[in-house]
Amino acid sequence: MSDVSFRVQGMTCASCVRRVEKALDNVPGVHKSTVNLSTNKATIDINPDETNVEILLAAVKDAGYPAVSETVDYGVMGMTCASCVGRVERALSKLPGVLDAQVNLSMERASITFLPDVTSAVELRATIADAGYTPQLLDDNAGDDPEQAARVAEFKSLRFDVIFAASFTIPLFTIAMIKFYAPVEEVMLSIMSLEGWIWVEFLLAAPVQFWAGKRFYVSGWAEIKHFSPGMSSLVMLGTSAAFIYSLLALFVPEIFPAGAANSYFEAAGVIITLILLGRLLESAAKGRTSEAIKKLMQLQSKTATVIRGGVEMELPIDDVIVGDVIQVKPGESVPVDGVITEGSSFIDEAMITGEPIPVEKSIGAEVVGSTINKTGAFQFKATRIGKDTVLSRIIKMVEDAQSSKPEIQKIADRIAGVFVPVVIVFATLTFAVWLIFGPDPALSFAFVTAVSVLLIACPCAMGLATPTAIMVGTGKGAELGVLFRKGTALEQLAKIDTVIMDKTGTLTLGRPTLTDFIVTEDFSSDEAEVLGLVAAAESKSEHPIADAIVKGAKDKGIEVLGVDAFEAEPGFGIEAMVAGRKVNVGADRYMKKLGIELGDTENKASALAEQAKSPLYAAVDGKLAAVVAVADPLKDGSKEAVAALHKLGLSVAMLTGDNAKTAKAIAGQVGIDKVLAEVLPDQKAAEVAGQQQSGGNVAFVGDGINDAPALAQADVGIAIGTGTDIAIEAADVILMSGDLRGIVNAAGLSRQTLKTIKMNFFWAYAYNVALIPLAAGAFYPLLGVLLNPMLAAGAMSISSLFVVTNSLRLKGFKAPLETAVVSKGNGNTEILQTA
């Protein structure tokens, strides 16, 4: 199986989504299709041996919804004959997502229409080059966001239609409303007869009905043809009924019962104008829901200063290749991902980590494309380009999350799939009941109520309730440094009651650090000298604890001297000669073996061990000089994060392969009550499953390769962004900064998003449940009130607009806790190695 994604134009409601999914699911070879109304994106799992992109596009187009495509022109240098033309056209046509490729020999030009979600401009150029020719970009607009271009085109089209419709509808509505107003009626009748004025209404209504409203006929007919009526069908049926009824009343009034030959031209015109206006406002609001993606894409650099053969040249970003050496000056953005080879600087990485403080970078440090160089100049070697860069992968994750469909949306889609047909049946019954039992003129009453029911029940708000909230929620999460790889994770995270955390690299930094250096009384005045001697001795050791001691000395500005002699005794310790002095470092048994008395330092070492630290002893020239403690320290914010999770009512447990004593000490420091210690890597997933079988909704937080099965097993897997690629790929949520306080922010955002979705659904359904009876005239016998079809159309548009604007409120979500960045000693933020 393989995934295919492309944008779909023209969808307006949940019924449209259902119809496109149905059309795709009916294609042989399609395993599953998911269509998102807010992103206008279809994602399909297919068997490539049974179907292809062209067949899928044809199915979607036949359903009445064309795919979003982009056309780009390239100069093709090196062609000499018709065979060259055929070779380039065949090569391009074989590329997935290319809809049309036309090559002109005399103009040396190729015009290519393609799906930007399936292939890219980079791949098009590469294909031309692989065919043996040199591509040159001719179209200045190539590379623009096609989705944004489609949205702008749709907005402009709607704006024109609204202005066009309003220019006819305003005089139409004015004439219809004032012609029976006594002071005006006499003047109007002196100019023209009543029938003449109705003719004027007809002439004003016709352009609105058949020009401004043609989009409803195009999509409405496609809906009916595929036995899947939706919003456009309802509008088409309702307004056509009003127009045809009025037309018959004008031309053949004698076929109507007395008093029923009424004109409703103004209703048809106003309904179409109001719905178009609602669509226009909705289009503007929907465009804002995907601002997170737009902002991220705007961060991408357009050019890079590349050094090739000793020559500095400015190239388009698409022409950069892995291995290129790139120069970055102060104030410029880093074009692609890479490793610094010359120079140093401070780089603003807020767009990746959310951390506003610039991070120091020097030779060997990794840099991320689109981050901002603040101070110094440097050169770096490109290691990741195009879709492999951190930013491109973030954009892909956010897009995938926005396109995925939570369970609550699947339920809504199923309801919407039957809702419109039921409404049409209900409108037909309403018409029949009023026609049979209604007062005179019964036909007029029956017509008004049936049209009102059709218009009030349009399921736009239902279709937008979930995807708009998911789009804004995932976008906001990206701003906060929390990446939701799946939109379903937003829903699931709001329902968890248990959080299980890995220890090493998750609660702790994941690397040994010198935490304590306590000198004995005999060496109390020489602490720096003793630490320098111990660090020098450990500099020859390969033990991880040795690295921590050396780094601790360097961080204090102490020079690490050379070593004249070195010997390690496995299981005990090391001996070294440093500046003419003998230095021994090791466990208590090593000191006792050397005949060195420990005295009261044993109590200090024991106290350190109870704090989950690893104590060692150091002797200089045969005398005990210091107690050294190394530990994997807690990350900043771990304790605060656990406390905040408890306040949210969540149970927090720790899962680790470490020994029980160390695990309990760490758990006690952060406030975790439940500890699952000495768990083997292959048992972690089983422990998570056990918690789930007990009835819990579990989120697992981890960073290592051995955490991947547990991350996949959990209801929500949360990966530390500073961890391994494998853990990140297995997770549903990624904390980009590596700070556990991000879990609290993610949980808070998910709860607020789910609350927004539920509020949207309540509004959408409550609106229909409350107003359909009113539209059907259920209150007329008691109150004498009927809902005017024009008001029904306006209310329907307002319902959709409310849902979109309610979702946009998530942009104002405030993170409960501030997060920090976890960095390495060389100033390199760890995420840069793995994100």
Which residues are the active-site residues?
502
Identify the CA nearest to 799 among candidates 762, 757, 752.
Answer: 762
Strand partners, 616: 628
Question: Given 3-state DSSP classes, what are the helix, strand and coil percentages for the chain, each rounded to the nearest 5?
Answer: 50, 20, 30
Residue 466: Cβ-neighbour burial (10 angstroms; 0-12, 13-18, 19+): buried
Asked if 821 contacts 740 with a C-beta cutoff of 8 angstroms, the reply is no
Q: How far apart are CA 542 and CA 667, in angstroms?
A: 29
Element holding 623 (H helix, E strand): strand 623-631
Residue 90 has a CB neighbour count (10 Å cut-off) of 12
Whether residue 774 contacts residue 783, with contact meaning beta carbons closer than 8 Å, is answered with no
- Burial label for 209, CB within 10 Å (0-12, 13-18, 19+), is buried
* Tokens coding 126: 């590469």
C-alpha 709/C-alpha 719 separation (Å) is 12
The secondary structure of 475-509, three-state, reads HHHHHCCEEECCHHHHHHHCCCCEEEEEHHHHHEC
Q: Pick from 637, 687, 633: which is nearest to 657 by CA?
A: 687
How far is the C-alpha of 713 from the C-alpha of 711, rounded, in Å? 6
Residue 60 in contact with residue 42, Cβ under 8 Å?
A: yes
- Between the CA of residue 248 and those of 168, 198, 205, 512, 755, what are the distances in Å? 21, 12, 14, 87, 50
How far is it, in rounded angstroms, from Cα 699 to Cα 655? Answer: 12
Q: What is the DSSP string of 44-55?
A: EEE-TTT--HHH
In whole angstroms, give the CA distance from residue 563 to residue 540: 8
Count helices and strands (H / E) in the chain.
Answer: 30, 29
320 within 8 A of 382, measured Cβ to Cβ: yes
What's the angle, vertex CA 493, arms to CA 489 and CA 498, rounded to 5? 135
